[in-house]
Structure 1
């Protein structure tokens, strides 16, 4: 394999996509998205999916590959993304992995296997009635190793981890520090004040750009309010607003607060990786 792997990581709204396109254009490479919501068709504005004109002719992979009506697992993502990555390397191209979902970045690059447990609708329906702290507490008892690495605030991942633990006992031990492919990591980490302004400005831009209409359209096309809430952040709070549970300003305020928390969790994940070369963008 003669290609090169570069991974662009960092918190939401930090400018990863722009940098990935610049590097890919300069090197004749292609971009592999590592975002857990951008795999879904129709989740465009709310997920911040890169637009065609923003790609500037650079091929992008792992976007719009699954229906939002069904959960696309990290195991499915890993299998497909690695096929793309290995093809690019065989062709001698630069593969630019870009995304803020740390688990997806690790799924492509590290020696990790994911159990292919099929979704259990009946079990999930029961777990949806349990509070997030109780889900995490239950996971700690069933699978302490997974509980140490999971985002304890992410209900979707907690439910999935419990689903796996209840079916096979516990997640298999991973050789997670070993890289499958030599990778150069670049992390973008703007100063907090600048990042928070970017998050707020981007949120308002998405709302002006039709985010609420997008969520309404997804619901009209058959996605339940519950499923939209499961898709997290923008989709969760837009769905609550459209159901009359939140005012528009209440939606904005809660989203801004939750996205800042999410950015902090992303940095906690990425800072475990000592191989990342951090750059501090000033805006």
Structure 2
């Protein structure tokens, strides 16, 4: 690969696998700074439910793209790419290594390869699709774009409508990010077997409940984030908001939430397995040697 391309280190893996811990350790050892690539950690006040790294956990390592906007506003891949590119330049000016860390794979690919041409929103079509349930929208998408259906959150109406809008307007499947690499990127995937990952997901959910995740969702709603918006954020925010509305019991909420997090991890792995450039490893010494050879 051309030496002219800027070097960036990318840490990926399913939810709860330990990406954050690894990114901080590598940042300390290789004089790096971390750019978060998480579509929910950009929102202020969404801390416990997203597993946002705390000041203490950062261990003095500067982090970018956390707490960027209010959860009442929209943030998308295009905005992320623009902000991440700016952060990469700032980090490199300091002579440091930019480390991208997160689980929003579409955003990471968009940063590495560039975004495909966007389709302008169609208010009339959106209004029509808005009348359908998430279940019906997902069935519709599955028929016309089965590939996108494999990686989308089938309960997220906003994303389902956008995916359908693109397919119906262009007559083509949802385009993937372009495949011309913009950076010299070393991609490391945090490797966990299924049983270990399930246990990590379970333990983290219990820990988050103890940390006050219910109170966090209550506070977000009190500050003007609608129940629908919380539902659209998915996972923790969806099931906790439904519990707080009295739609489900606490036990049902915990069971459904854990199941959904496991399904989400599977969707992440479906996306990641397609990328043959990812080096899967969980031995830190081996990871360290890989980075040394590349950097």
Q: CA deviation at 1:116?
A: 7.0
Uncovered stretches (5+) of structure 1, i.e. residues with no partner: none
2:178 to 176, 187, 191: 176
Distance 1:109 1:218 in 2: 33
Distance 1:100 1:197 in 2: 18
Q: CA deviation at 1:68?
A: 0.8
* Corresponding residue number in structure 1 for 2:237: 235
Q: Name which of structure 1's ranges 62-71 and 197-206 shifts more when overlaid on structure 2.
A: 62-71
Q: 1:23 aligned to 2:36?
A: no
Aligned pairs for 1:243-262 within 5 A: 243-262=245-264
- Residues 114 and 62 (structure 1 numbering): CA distance in 2 closer, same or farther, change over 3 Å? farther
Q: Once the two structures are superposed, what CA deviation does each residue of 1:39-61 show, in whole Å capped at 9, x if it has no partner?
A: 11111000111111101111111
Q: CA deviation at 1:206?
A: 0.5
Q: 1:47 aligned to 2:50?
A: yes
* Corresponding residue number in structure 1 for 2:217: 215
- Residues 42 and 152 (structure 1 numbering): CA distance in 2 closer, same or farther, change over 3 Å? closer
- Residues 215 and 165 (structure 1 numbering): CA distance in 2 closer, same or farther, change over 3 Å? same
Distance 1:171 1:86 in 2: 33
Contact 1:8 1:97 in 2 (8 A): yes
1:135 to 137, 150, 166: 137
* Corresponding residue number in structure 2 for 1:105: 108
The TM-score, its normalising length taken from structure 1, stands at 0.88
Distance 1:6 1:103 in 2: 17
How many residues matched? Answer: 280
After the TM superposition, list the runs of 4 or more consecutive aligned residues in structure 1 that deviate by more than 6 angstroms: none
- Residues 81 and 149 (structure 1 numbering): CA distance in 2 closer, same or farther, change over 3 Å? farther
- Residues 152 and 14 (structure 1 numbering): CA distance in 2 closer, same or farther, change over 3 Å? closer
The TM-score, its normalising length taken from structure 2, stands at 0.85
Distance 1:45 1:119 in 2: 35
Q: CA deviation at 1:140?
A: 6.1
Distance 1:267 1:217 in 2: 32
Contact 1:21 1:58 in 2 (8 A): yes
Distance 1:95 1:56 in 2: 16
Q: State the SS of the aligned residue for 2:83.
A: helix
Distance 1:180 1:55 in 2: 28
* Corresponding residue number in structure 2 for 1:153: 154
- Residues 109 and 270 (structure 1 numbering): CA distance in 2 closer, same or farther, change over 3 Å? same
